[in-house]
């Protein structure tokens, strides 16, 4: 059972904001703070930085306030008997969130979903809560959070979402306001791969998708994936996939012909399942 009592995202309060509930709530309060703040935890006031979360359990005193500047947060008051909530590793203790934008979007989706009352809303809310708590659990287990973790994660996403850009280490260093060598060291420590290896990986993933699902020419695909030289694209694609772009497209077309998608209906809704 998951029941949302109240929820909101991108709430903004003045620099004198104080929130105090001495006896807590009957349910949980999950707070995601996106500005500096001060919290009461273990009978003492602690200052936390932006992108900090805390799960308050039922009956626990709740006290937090602005820290001399505008206060911002996402929040949800809810009841749950699911293990992913009841067995969450950190309760009533603040922790840093490693992927704040991802979590913020989940709060937004939960807010939107809770405003509807369709037959699917309860299931959708449970799924979204499970994903949110899974992401937050990752944060509690991450002991490598550093000053630049959030910026590195944002850069990692941007690389994969924008393979057409003219990526190079100097450009990345400018975005993070660090030296090129420092960016490379931090990036490899965070993700286990070099930043330029991920650029190539992101470009070739996009190329595979365009080869399989569009009719763009090989040259057009190369340009859309950030390659100025089609020969360089073909050479790099073959090294990565063991075949040329043209061969990859033919193989994908043959697989679709031999294994057409299956259409089926479940609960009044139509689904398509790709052939194996």
pLDDT digits (tens, 9 = 90+) for 140-191: 876 555 667 878 888 999 999 999 999 999 999 988 888 899 899 989 988 8
Label residue 261 by pLDDT band (50, 70, 90). low
Q: Average the pLDDT over 46-51 and give the result.
A: 92
155: number of Cβ within 10 Å: 21
Hey, CA dihedral for 113, 100, 52, 91, is it positive or negative?
A: positive
Helix (H, G, I), strand (E, B) or coil at 192: coil
Strand partners, 19: 64
Q: Which residues contact 236 (CB under 8 A, 6 or more apart)?
A: 200, 204, 227
Predicted confidence (pLDDT) at residue 252 exceeds the cutoff of 50: yes
Q: Are 6 and 79 in contact (CB under 8 A)?
A: no
Q: Could you tell me which CATH class the domain 149-257 is placed in?
A: mainly alpha
Q: What is the pLDDT of residue 266?
A: 44
Superfamily of domain 2-141: Regulatory protein AraC (2.60.120.280)
Indicate yes or no: pTM above 0.95: no
Q: Are 75 and 32 in contact (CB under 8 A)?
A: yes
- Alpha helix ranges (H) inside the chain: 83-86, 100-114, 121-141, 149-161, 169-176, 180-191, 195-213, 218-224, 230-241, 245-258
Domain spans of the chain? 2-141, 149-257
Predicted confidence (pLDDT) at residue 276 exceeds the cutoff of 50: no
Distance (Å, rounded) from C-alpha 251 to C-alpha 256? 9
Distance (Å, rounded) from C-alpha 53 to C-alpha 198? 29
Q: What is the pLDDT of residue 162?
A: 94
């Amino acid at each position: 059972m998951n029941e949302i009592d109240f929820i909101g995202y991108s709430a903004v309060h003045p620099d004198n904001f104080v929130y105090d509930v001495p006896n807590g709530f009957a349910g949980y309060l999950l707070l995601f703070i996106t500005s500096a703040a001060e919290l009461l935890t273990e009978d003492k006031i602690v200052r936390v930085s932006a992108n900090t979360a805390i799960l308050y359990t039922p009956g626990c005193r709740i006290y937090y306030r602005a820290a001399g500047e505008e206060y911002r947060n996402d929040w949800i008051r809810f009841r749950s008997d699911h293990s992913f909530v009841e067995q969450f590793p950190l309760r009533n203790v603040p922790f840093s969130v490693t992927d704040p934008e991802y979590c913020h979007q989940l709060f937004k989706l939960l807010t939107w979903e809770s405003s509807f009352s369709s037959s699917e809303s309860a299931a959708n809310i449970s799924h979204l809560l499970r994903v949110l708590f899974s992401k937050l659990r990752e944060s509690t287990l991450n002991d490598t959070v550093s000053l630049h973790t959030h910026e590195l994660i944002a850069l990692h996403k941007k690389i994969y979402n924008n393979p057409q850009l003219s990526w190079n280490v100097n450009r990345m260093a400018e975005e993070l306001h660090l030296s090129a060598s420092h960016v490379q060291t931090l990036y490899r420590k965070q993700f286990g791969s070099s930043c330029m290896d991920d650029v190539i990986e992101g470009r070739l993933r996009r190329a595979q998708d365009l080869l399989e699902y569009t009719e763009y020419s090989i040259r057009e695909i190369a340009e859309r994936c950030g390659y100025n030289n089609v020969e360089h694209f073909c050479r790099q694609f073959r090294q990565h996939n063991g075949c040329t772009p043209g061969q990859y497209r033919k193989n994908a077309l043959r697989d679709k012909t031999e294994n057409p998608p299956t259409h089926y209906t479940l609960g009044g809704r139509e689904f398509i399942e790709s052939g194996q």
